[in-house]
Amino acid sequence: MKVETFSGRKIETNIADRSFEPYNGAKKYSGSSKVISFEKALQECKIKDGMTLSFHHQLRNGDFVVNLILDAISNMGVKDLRIAQTAFFDVHEPVIEHIKNGVVTRIEGSCNGPVGDYCCKNPLEQPVILRSHGGRWAAVETGELHPNIAFIAASAADIRGNATGLIGSSAFGNIAYSGVDAVKADNVVIVTDNIVDYPCYFRDIYEGLVDYVVEVDKIGDPNKIVSGSLKVTDDSMKLSIARNCVDLMDAAGIVKEGMIFQAGAGGISLAAIKYLGELLNERGIAAGSSTGGLTKYIVDMYHSGCLKQINTCQCFDMESVKFASKHPEFLSTIGEYSNPLAKGRNIDRLSTVVLGATEVDTSFNVNVNTHSDGRMLHGIGGHQDVSTAANLSIMAVPVFRKTNPIVREKVTTISTPGDVVDAIVTNEGIAINPNRKDLIEKIKGKIEIVPIEELKNIAYSETGEPNKPNLGEEIVGITKFMDGTVLDNIYRVLE
């Protein structure tokens, strides 16, 4: 039986055992501006108690967006929010007041600084959940962590929502963390201080995913992206650790044409990058690529010719931001970098990585989340992601700091499990994970290996046994592995 469509054509709708809907008219797309006020955006997103809000942290300690949004929501009387930020920093200390007032009751994201310190002494209704960069991306992708509203800071956006972090006075690098939030969130709000002509020249976030654009006076201070000194250490002891890291790479046959490496932004890691660059230049060879965070030291390697390509998803200084805006071909998302659900990741061919730690233990477990007193002050970042992927994962630490043993019998919190850690490089020697018999055989006669227990004994002889943290029985935090399984519990710190 034929039916008449809105256009007046009579058609069959039951064809070959299938039933089709007849055309019933359409409206033309307007292409109108999505720019509205903060208050209007919150109303249109139907903000209400119990929602999950997500943010990225690429402005780091210079971010204004989290505080701005939570203040506005608090003024509306909304309560019981779950915050799924990729990380908190010192600048986010005002979040503590929102916790006290019941606006924020759950947190699933890295808690660097005051917020983490507060939460480990004043438990939330549910434990803080700490994930790696890749683990968080996967959790959002699967729906384990579902944002109702994703607030995405952008240093430039057009009226339709195409957005980037690469240009403008608040530029911080490409928007690498929020791509999965933009796809999976119920509502997506771009927050920018720079409306540009359509279409936005760079497009980290695509307009088809964006509901609203909100213009504010300032999304943050990019000069505070740098957290810490971000300088090569001049401490002779730390320099010796960095040198030992490169010597180990070399003995293991890692330092060769086309190698792929990553290093953290701490003083020892930066020194290791410096020494690696010098060795590559000396031999007239070039690394294939670097992965992870970008610093001026890696940019210098690229310009010197000892690094062919860069594969980065976060800028750690303003020199890197400028470089990224000129080389978008080197930029990737966190999903491309380390999503454990992906069929291929940037880190899968990683030759070696040099990382830091607050503690390591005789089982090669690593703590980066808490201090030895149990205070939750840091996030996992990409630590476990790249440790799992790298052919040679190196933890570079002194055996003790001041009166605190860093190499110990058991870490306070497991952030990265010992079965993916290959070497502990210290100022008193190098310990190799006994499970890496192939590595031990490869470096035999080139590098002296020290049993991890001996490094622990040196630490204890200098500092005494570790002070037992004053902890209660209440669980205030959970560290998850990148596959979603639980690694460890973090317990309440008693005052």
pLDDT tens column, 376-431: 999 999 999 999 999 999 999 999 999 999 999 999 999 999 999 999 999 999 99
What is the radius of gyration, based on Cα positions, of the chain? Answer: 25
pLDDT range class, residue 495, cuts 50, 70, 90: confident
Report the candidate in 69, 68, 109 with the shortest Cα–Cα distance to residue 89: 109
Percent over 90 (pLDDT), the chain = 95
Half-sphere exposure at residue 242, Cβ-oriented, CA atoms within 13 angstroms = 25
* CA distance to 53, 119, 123, 124, 139, per residue, from 107 (Å): 10, 9, 11, 8, 14
Report, as an integer, the average pLDDT of 62-90. 97
Q: 349: which strand partners?
A: none
Report, as an integer, the average pLDDT of 78-82. 98
pLDDT at 54 over 90: yes
Q: What pLDDT does residue 317 have?
A: 92
DSSP string for 189-255? EEEES-B-SSSPSS-SB-GGG-SEEEE-S-SB-GGG---S--S----HHHHHHHHHHHHHHHHTT--
Q: What secondary structure letter does DSSP report for 416? A: B
Kindly report the backbone phi and psi dihedral angles of residue 189, in degrees, each rounded to the nearest multiple of 5, phi listed first.
-120, 120
Contacts of 347 (CB under 8 A, 6+ apart): 262, 291, 292, 337, 338, 382, 385, 386, 389, 390
Contacts of 202 (CB under 8 A, 6+ apart): 156, 164, 166, 167, 174, 325, 328
The type of residue at 144 is E
Q: What secondary structure letter does DSSP report for 363? A: T
Mean pLDDT of the chain: 96
* Angstrom distance (rounded) from CA 64 to CA 7: 52
In terms of DSSP H, where are the helices of 362-436? 383-389
Instruction: Give Cα 222 to chain centroid, integer Å.
Output: 17
Q: What pLDDT does residue 448 have?
A: 96
236-469: same fold as 38-224? yes
Q: What angle do CA 3, 5, 9 make, to 5 degrees?
A: 85
Q: Pairing mode, if any, of strands 110-111 and 87-88?
A: parallel
Domain boundaries, the chain: 38-224, 236-469
Q: What pLDDT does residue 28 have?
A: 84
pLDDT tens column, 292-343: 999 999 999 999 999 999 999 999 999 999 999 999 999 999 999 999 999 9
Q: What angle do CA 154, 156, 161 make, to 5 degrees?
A: 75
* Angstrom distance (rounded) from CA 345 to CA 204: 18
Report, as an integer, the average pLDDT of 131-140. 98
Contacts of 278 (CB under 8 A, 6+ apart): none
Tell me the fold of 38-224. Answer: Glutaconate Coenzyme A-transferase (3.40.1080)
pLDDT range class, residue 230, cuts 50, 70, 90: low
Report the candidate in 53, 65, 63 with the shortest Cα–Cα distance to residue 105: 53
Burial 279-314 (b: 16+ CB within 10 A, else e): bbeeeeebbbbbbbbbbbbbbebbeeebbeebbbbb
pLDDT range class, residue 231, cuts 50, 70, 90: confident
Q: What pLDDT does residue 393 have?
A: 98
Q: What pLDDT does residue 2 have?
A: 93
Percent over 70 (pLDDT), the chain = 99
Asked if omega into 199 is within 30° of 0 (cis), the reply is yes
Q: What pLDDT does residue 227 have?
A: 61
Environment class of residue 20 by beta-carbon count within 10 Å: exposed (0-12), middle (13-18) or buried (19+)? exposed
Kindly report the backbone phi and psi dihedral angles of residue 39, in degrees, each rounded to the nearest multiple of 5, phi listed first.
-60, -45
pLDDT at 47 over 90: yes
Q: What pLDDT does residue 94 have?
A: 98
Task: Note if the pTM is more than 0.85.
Answer: yes
Q: What pLDDT does residue 229 have?
A: 52
pLDDT range class, residue 16, cuts 50, 70, 90: very high
Q: Pairing mode, if any, of strands 156-157 and 110-111?
A: unpaired
* Angstrom distance (rounded) from CA 226 to CA 222: 8
The type of residue at 316 is F
pLDDT at 254 over 90: yes
Report, as an integer, the average pLDDT of 218-230. 83
pLDDT range class, residue 228, cuts 50, 70, 90: low
Residue 133 in tokens: 């960069």
| 269 within 8 A of 459, measured Cβ to Cβ | no
Q: What pLDDT does residue 284 have?
A: 97
pLDDT range class, residue 72, cuts 50, 70, 90: very high
Kindly report the backbone phi and psi dihedral angles of residue 138, in degrees, each rounded to the nearest multiple of 5, phi listed first.
-65, -40
Contacts of 438 (CB under 8 A, 6+ apart): none
Q: What pLDDT does residue 218 have?
A: 98
Residue 298 in tokens: 């890696």
Q: Does domain 236-469 sit in CATH 3.40.1080.10?
A: yes
The type of residue at 162 is N
3-state secondary structure of 157: strand
